[in-house]
Amino acid sequence: MISVANLKKSYGDHTVLDGVSIEIQRGEVVAMIGPSGAGKSTLLRCLNLLERPDSGRITIGDTVVDLPAKIPVRTLETLRKTAGMVFQSFNLFPHLSVLRNVSLAQEYVLGRDAKAAHQRSMELLERVGLADKAGSYPARLSGGQQQRIAIARALAMEPEVMLFDEPTSALDPELGLDVLAVMRELAASGMTMVVVTHEIHFAQDVSDRVVMMADGGIIEQGDPAQVLSSPANPRTQRFLKAVIDR
Amino acid sequence: MIPLDVLGNAIVMTVVITVSSFLIGAILGVPLVLLRTSRFGVVRVLTRALIDVLRGVPPVVWIFILYFGVSSDVIKLDPLTAAIGGLGVISCAYLAEIYRGGLLSVHAGQTEAAQALGFGQVGIFTRIVAPQAFRVCLPSAATYGIGLLKDSSLASTIGVAEIAFRATAQARSGGDGITPFVIAGVLYIALSMPLAYLSRTLDTKLRMKVSV
Ligand SMILES: Nc1ncnc2c1ncn2[C@@H]1O[C@H](COP(=O)(O)OP(=O)(O)OP(=O)(O)O)[C@@H](O)[C@H]1O
Ligand SMILES: [Mg+2]
């Protein structure tokens, strides 16, 4: 489903991704962990080209992006339609109601008619447990509710892959639970997911594979139980100890 | 006393000058701010210089330039057009800067979220960024509009029969020298009040809905 080959990205002379390669199967849930500055967000943002990699190749579904060649607008559009993204800071549109947040892109980008978009939006709001908030504005909702709406908004584009960048980091632990529950359900439904997270429990219970990043590269990956409980790499050991002690 | 119909015409004239020059600025300010925030450095620098020039020259000088300077044998500008044009020129520069402040206030995450949903540049601007920027601009734009209402009195210098012009004429025609100006002052305040009120209520309403 996703294939990344030798992806490189630097800001000035600071190398952030140093030739990253990874294959992700359809339906697989990958949890990405690693210290701050490891390049996790950058990798995720490169996958839907919010960030432009310097070189390498990205394949998502049928869409292939070869760098450093110029990326055709069509490719960009298809890639972003194929991969939905959920941000740490939710980024809901504050000037639109919850319903409009979910339906606008369906109409504007997918070209769905208003009625179909409305119906699909309500289904998705139902799915994340917030159908009763359809008429509210984001500012009136808790962070956990906002993040669930952000998930519904991304799902409305019918993506084949969902990318999550620390979706619960900005939330009180308690509020994060509802978001994690929605993500669990999504994983169970067979969605291909890449989740950058510090939630070790989520990684343990839900993911099929844990990928550990440090210094712009993947230093260890494998079965969650194995990587999380008996990591081979000393760097992973140190990182996990720090996360658990916190 | 000034006859009522003359007074009425003067008020209409003041409103026409203010509203027209504001609209010119509100419309032409859009392309100006787009150039001002262009991807290309040269365009940005040139637009900024243009805005500084437009704003740097006092309104009355712009009005004179248009009326006595541009208005030649070739193009004939009547006083009203020259006044509207002069104030309009300045308005585009000020409103472009007000728009820019609004655009800058929209969080970068908004653009990213829209990009991730597949919006193109036009969609991001028209559906996501501009509506949010507009709300932020509203109070400053209204304040600018009130300033413009007062600046419209400069049209009297080239003989446009608006409120200040009538007040001056009345005062000169003998009798009481102060009353016409007091009346003019009251009229300006009365005209600015609805604008101030509108801006305040809209602002509160939108803030309730949107603020984070
Ligand atoms: N726009 C940018 N300009 C310059 N440097 C950047 C930019 N974005 C990220 N970086 C740098 O790239 C490195 C990797 O950043 P990234 O956000 O991918 O890390 P991360 O693994 O997601 O960390 P965190 O856990 O803190 O989110 C960091 O050193 C960061 O300072
Ligand atoms: Mg990050």
Amino acid at B92: C
pLDDT in tens, A30-53: 999 999 999 999 999 999 999 999
Nearest to A156 by CA among A129, A121, A199, A115: A121
**Is any atom of ligand 1 closer than 6 Å to the C-beta of A37?**
yes
pTM: 0.87
Minimal Cα–Cα distance from A26 to chain B, Å?
20
Hey, whose CA ends up nearest to atom 1 of ligand 1?
A11
Q: Distance between CA A237 and CA A89 in Å, rounded?
A: 29
Quick one: pLDDT at residue B72? Answer: 66
* CA nearest ligand 1 atom 28, residue: A37
In the block, tokens 């509207």 appear at: B84
From CA A169, how far away is CA A1, in angstroms rounded?
A: 27
Of the candidates B90, B74, B108, B71, the one whose C-alpha atom is nearest the C-alpha of residue B32 is: B90
CB B118 within 8 A of CB B130: no
Q: Are A187 and A72 in contact (CB under 8 A)?
A: no
CA distance A161 to A180: 17
In angstroms, the CA B180 to CA B146 distance is: 21
Residue A228 Cα to ligand 1 middle (Å)? 24
List, for residues B60-90, the tens digit of each pLDDT value. Answer: 999 999 998 876 666 778 999 999 999 999 9
Reading chain A (246 residues) residue by residue, the pLDDT tens digits are 999 999 999 999 999 999 999 999 999 999 999 999 999 999 999 999 999 999 999 999 989 999 888 888 889 988 999 999 999 999 999 999 999 999 999 999 999 999 999 999 999 999 999 999 999 999 999 999 999 999 999 999 999 999 999 999 998 888 889 999 999 999 999 999 999 998 888 899 899 999 999 999 999 999 999 999 999 999 999 999 888 877
CB contact under 8 A, A139 and B107: no
Distance from CA of B91 to the nearest CA of A (A): 27
> Do A161 and A83 form a contact (C-beta atoms < 8 A)?
yes
List the domains of chain B with CATH numbers: 4-209 (1.10.3720.10)
A155: domain CATH number is 3.40.50.300
> How many domains does chain A contain in total?
1
| Chain B interface includes A154 (CB < 8 A) | yes
Residues on B contacting A at a C-beta cutoff of 8 Å = 107, 109-110, 112-120, 123, 127-128, 131-132, 135, 209-212
Q: How many CB atoms lie within 10 A of CB B63?
A: 25
Instruction: Report angle CA B73, B76, B78 to the nearest 5 degrees.
Output: 145
Q: From the CA of B103, how many Å to the nearest CA of chain A? A: 14
Q: What is the pLDDT of residue B212?
A: 43
Query: Interface pTM (ipTM) of the complex?
Result: 0.92
| B47, B52, B58, B64: CA torsion to nearest 10 | -30
Side chain identity, residue B118: G
d(CA B163, CA B14): 6
Terminus-to-terminus CA distance in chain A, angstroms?
35
B123 neighbourhood in chain A, CB within 8 Å: 108-109
Mean residue pLDDT across chain B = 90
At a CB cut-off of 8 Å and minimum separation 6, what does B119 contact? A105, A108, A109, B127, B128
Can you read off the two tokens belonging to residue B39? 């991807």
- By residue range, what is the domain housing residue A180? 2-245
Cβ distance B128 to A92 less than 8 Å, yes or no, reads no
Please state, in angstroms and rounded to a whole number, the distance separating the CA atoms of residues A163 and B71: 62
For ligand 1, whether the C-beta of A16 sits within 6 Å is yes
Helix B179-210 with B130-151: angle, nearest 10 deg = 170
Q: What is the pLDDT of residues B138-152, one digit of tens each?
A: 888 999 999 999 999
Per the listing, tokens 């990009």 go with B115
Q: How far is the CA of B205 from the centre of ligand 2 (A)?
A: 35
Pocket of ligand 1 contains residue A36 by CB under 6 Å: yes
B209 pLDDT more than 70: no
Quick one: which atom of ligand 1 is closest to the CA of A51? 1
d(CA B10, CA A13): 66
